[in-house]
Amino acid sequence: MASVELRNVTKRFGAFTAVEGVDLSIRDRELVVFVGPSGCGKSTLLRMIAGLESITSGELLISGRPANQVAAADRGIAMVFQSYALYPHMTVRENMGFALRMLGTDRAEIERRVRAAAATLQLEGLLDRRPKELSGGQRQRVAIGRAITREPDVFLFDEPLSNLDAGLRAQMRVEIARLHRQLDTTMIYVTHDQVEAMTLAERIVVLNGGRIEQQGAPLELYERPANRFVAGFLGQPRMNFVPLDGTGGQVASWLELLAPPKRSATLGVRPDGFEIYAAPVAGTVPAEVVLVEQLGNVSLVHLRIDGLPDLLTVELRDKSDLRPGDSVQLRPQPRRSHVFDSSGARIDWS
Amino acid sequence: MAGRANPWTTGLFAALILLFTGGPVLLSLLGSLIPDRVLLDQGSSLFAEGLNFDGYRYVFTGELPRAYQAENANRAMISDAARQVPASLVNSGIIALSAMVLNILLGAPAAFLFARYLFPGKKLSFLFLILSPLVPAVALVTPIYIMLQSMGLLGTRTGIILVHTARALPFTVLILSVFFRKMPAELFEAATLDHCSRFQVFWRIALPLALPSIGATGLFAFMLSYSEYMFAMVLSGDAGARPVSVVMAALARNTDVSWSLLNTAIFIAIVPTLVLVVLVWRFVVEGLLSGSVKG
């Protein structure tokens, strides 16, 4: 059981700064997800915690003890890699027991722990197979099993599900969440998939350009994004952004409706935060339907407002009768509208 | 793989390759069994004379072939050098196997370091290693001769082993480092997290996975040493360290040599390489195939 603390941690590769001045405190038994676009520094951060990457400056503490100079193997962590990194020449049993064997653990104890991990992950029948005889999902389980047998203080997951197909990914996601409850250990999970982040995390850390943009509980980040980046990154389909001025006043009625403190601001509304009307009502703006995507339970309507650079996506419950070319009236729900200033920071007002 | 070749074309190519590789071996075997008289005397035919093993008997026991026991036979055609073939074969075997083992022992760890770690002077030393085979061997003969002389290794197998090892080592390191570089880095990182030291990462993870490549490069080092002539000739002297390449050259230099005897020596010299190829080949090909399937 362990806490992990990063104090002003920076990583440079030559002139390139991959991670800059990150301060982060991960509590014991917490499941924290690092999420961000590729190249945001999330994997580098994880690898620094693992000890696979040196820390250029700043301090890393594991269970309150400085760990910058501690060898990777001695940090009490286990890592699950994106490519699984199973040893191809060893059976599942040997793969899972390898770290213990290297530590000189007694054979009976290795066997006991391997069996326990195999039972947890439903791998009992596969112990004598080689990795190449396993499916992707099974390999992923073995990789997790290999981490479990070590009984580490901290589990690190580096995009563990990104090589799996969508169905399996959803299933493994549930399994990892269950595992976290069962093992009750600190886990740090890296992903670029915001759905994984939203469903797994107790706390999400959104990274961009090597810095932390925002951290907090998934719904907190979803409902009160600190800036335009976080707002745009979390949520599927993406949030719509509309400049409230400077487009010729097409959305002047929205400006009136919402009355934000600054006029030169960007409005952010998630696709389910709009109302569509057939005829003009207070605060609506005319829009033209460009495309309707019927997803069964919901429909996504793509709309064009004359003069706006981007199409807007609106999510409607159930099927939609709208057709491309239809004219509608559009209005954001004030309670579900976010406003960001020109630097991208959130503006709160009521 | 894109598109499958027509089985007939495949068969034709296979036959051609077999003709070029197996043909000479078969010819030398046949030549060693056909008595010289059949080749040289218009009057006699293979059906009358039949095949015999006289050449082999002479090489291994020194008993003259029956045809040359006749009083007026030209015994100059029976070269003494042929009698040296068995001993030189032992020499070659020891030299080539040693060069092979040394190449693997020295080359595999070096290749792993070059492929996986950063250390001061890495680029320069690798460049040096890669470019060294470009120096013409002839230019090296004298310095190496003097060096071995000062070490008292002239006319010894050890001297030739050292030179052959050094000649093959750049290739071994290059080929194996390419292979080690292709292995996913995460595998070694996982091993590091699993409490492996650098040596254990090499010994327990990299080496077992590289065995097919190591087999292939070892075979390559063996062949290079087995067929090397110039250094072997200069460094072996007249002592008992002569490898088979030197003895074969001496045998072939005699233009009057008995054809059956020459072919006997050739075939005997081929046998060890055939045995080794059969032993290692399966292993190498299996390794390459399993690698490609895993891809």
* pLDDT tens-place string over residues A284-294: 899 999 999 99
Compare all CA atoms of chain A with the CA of B200 and give the residue at the minimum distance.
A102
Percent of chain A with pLDDT over 70: 99
Shortest alpha-carbon distance between residue A92 and chain B (Å): 15
Mutation for B interface: A46, A47, A77, A98, most B CBs within 10 A:
A98
CB contact under 8 A, B193 and A88: no
CB contact under 8 A, B294 and A78: no
What is the model's pLDDT at position A183?
A: 87
CB neighbour class for A177 (10 Å; exposed up to 12, middle 13-18, buried from 19)? middle
Contact A80, A156 (CB under 8 A): yes
Of the pLDDT bands very low, low, confident and very high (cuts 50, 70, 90), residue B114 is very high
Helix (H, G, I), strand (E, B) or coil at A237: coil
CB contact under 8 A, A102 and B186: no
Of the pLDDT bands very low, low, confident and very high (cuts 50, 70, 90), residue B295 is very low
Q: Chain A contacts of B191, Cβ < 8 Å?
A: 87, 98
Mean pLDDT, residues B94-120 taken together? 92
Please, what CATH class does the domain formed by B84-253 belong to?
Answer: mainly alpha
Q: With an 8 Å Cβ cutoff, is B118 touching chain A?
A: no
Compare all CA atoms of chain A with the CA of B209 and give the residue at the minimum distance.
A89
Helices (H) and strands (E) in chain B, counts: 14, 0
What is the model's pLDDT at position B288?
A: 59
Instruction: Give the mean pLDDT of chain A.
Output: 90
Percent of chain B with pLDDT over 70: 85
- What are the residue ranges spanned by the domains of chain B? 8-81, 84-253
Contact B111, B173 (CB under 8 A): yes
What is the model's pLDDT at position B294?
A: 40
Q: A175, A201, A171: which is closest to A189 by C-alpha?
A: A201
Of the pLDDT bands very low, low, confident and very high (cuts 50, 70, 90), residue B73 is low
Alpha helices in B34-120 (DSSP H): 36-40, 46-49, 54-61, 85-116
Q: Is the pLDDT of residue B103 over 60?
A: yes
User: CB under 8 Å to B136, separation ≥6 — which residues?
Assistant: none
Query: Which of A78, A87, A132 faces B193 most closely, judged by CB atoms?
Result: A78
- The CA distance from B111 to B100, in Å, is 15
Mean pLDDT, residues A39-55 taken together? 93
DSSP category for residue B244: H
Angle between helices A136-149 and A166-183 (to 10 degrees): 20
Higher pLDDT, B272 or A79: A79
Return the sign of the alpha-carbon dihedral for residues A317, A322, A325, A331. negative
CB contact under 8 A, B194 and A99: yes
Q: Is the pLDDT of residue B291 over 60?
A: no
Q: Is the pLDDT of residue B46 over 60?
A: yes
What is the model's pLDDT at position A204?
A: 95
Of the pLDDT bands very low, low, confident and very high (cuts 50, 70, 90), residue B76 is low
Cα-based distances in Å from A131 to A85, A86, A143, A149, B27:
10, 7, 10, 17, 47
| A267-304 tens-digit pLDDT | 999 999 999 998 888 888 999 999 999 988 899 999 99
Q: Supply A297's token pair.
A: 């339970």
Compare all CA atoms of chain B with the CA of A86 and give the residue at the minimum distance.
B187
What is the model's pLDDT at position A223?
A: 92
Query: Which of A52, A72, A88 faces B294 most closely, judged by CB atoms?
Result: A88
Q: Is the pLDDT of residue B78 over 70?
A: no
Mean pLDDT, residues A216-220 taken together? 94
CB contact under 8 A, A87 and B193: no
Q: Is the pLDDT of residue A154 over 50?
A: yes
| A55-110 tens-digit pLDDT | 999 999 999 999 999 999 899 999 999 888 999 989 999 999 999 999 999 999 99
Mean pLDDT, residues A150-173 taken together? 88
What is the model's pLDDT at position A9?
A: 94
Q: Is the pLDDT of residue B52 over 70?
A: yes
Is the domain A239-347 a CATH 3.30.450.40 member?
no
Q: Is the pLDDT of residue B69 over 70?
A: no
- Predicted ipTM? 0.84
A-B CB pairs within 8 A amount to 52
**Does the predicted TM-score (pTM) go above 0.90?**
no
What is the model's pLDDT at position A350?
A: 63
Q: Chain B contacts of A132, Cβ < 8 Å?
A: 290, 293-294
Shortest alpha-carbon distance between residue B283 and chain A (Å): 15
Domain A4-230 fold: Rossmann fold (3.40.50)
Q: Supply B186's token pair.
A: 């995460």
Of the pLDDT bands very low, low, confident and very high (cuts 50, 70, 90), residue B292 is very low
Higher pLDDT, B66 or A256: A256
- What are the residue ranges spanned by the domains of chain A? 4-230, 239-347
Contact A6, A177 (CB under 8 A): no
Q: Is the pLDDT of residue B293 over 50?
A: no
Considering only residues 191 to 210 of chain B, which have any Cβ-Cβ distance to chain A shorter than 8 Å?
Answer: 191-196, 200, 205, 208-209
Shortest alpha-carbon distance between residue B129 and chain A (Å): 28
Of the pLDDT bands very low, low, confident and very high (cuts 50, 70, 90), residue B250 is confident
